[in-house]
Amino acid sequence: MKDKFFIDTNIVVYAFSLELEKKVIAKQLIKDAHKKDGCLSFQVIQEFLNTSTKKFKIPLKKEDTQRYLREILFPICEVFPSEKLYYNSLDIYEQFKYSFYDSLIISAALESNCKILYSEDLQNNQKIYDLTIKNPFLKEI
């Protein structure tokens, strides 16, 4: 069995990228999340919505956004705001010196018992407790 994994916002955003190589990798990770054991959090959805409606060169239409939420993101969303999530995020923020929002992502991945966090923005191969951060866009030698 493959390890459970968490998808950071940048992976979801790259599914809409003009950079073909990153787009293919991102779409495959999202597909794998549905077929295997992947997930994301409410925060990823919020950040994606902000990016897709304001920062895309051609923002997604409301209907397309709603369909993507319903069919793709909501089914794999496992982590929602809670006291525990915020307290754990503060611990990660203090101990590992990530920004608070990155600490929330890391905390959500840990809360959902993931072993891998796929992100382009965090330190590749860093271990945080039982979680390993992986940049899926790096070419491993």
**pLDDT per residue over 74-125, tens digit each?**
999 999 999 999 999 999 999 999 999 999 999 999 999 999 999 999 999 9
Q: Is residue 140 part of a domain?
A: no
- Report pLDDT for 1: 47
C-alpha 131 chain-centroid distance: 14
Q: Is residue 96 part of a domain?
A: yes
Average pLDDT over residues 3-16: 97
- Per-residue model confidence as pLDDT tens digits over 104-117: 999 999 999 999 99
Q: Are the C-beta atoms of 13 and 52 separated by less than 8 Å? A: yes
Q: Is residue 120 part of a domain?
A: yes
Count of structural domains within the chain: 1
Beta strands in the chain (DSSP E): 5-7, 38-41, 77-79, 116-118, 127-128, 131-134
Q: Is residue 84 part of a domain?
A: yes
Q: Is residue 139 part of a domain?
A: no
Q: Is residue 12 part of a domain?
A: yes
- Report pLDDT for 98: 96
- Report pLDDT for 33: 98
Q: How far apart are CA 105 and CA 85, in angstroms?
A: 10
Query: For the domain that residue 88 is a member of, what is the CATH number?
Result: 3.40.50.1010
Q: Is residue 109 part of a domain?
A: yes
Q: Is residue 141 part of a domain?
A: no
User: Which residues constitute the domain of residue 113?
Assistant: 5-134
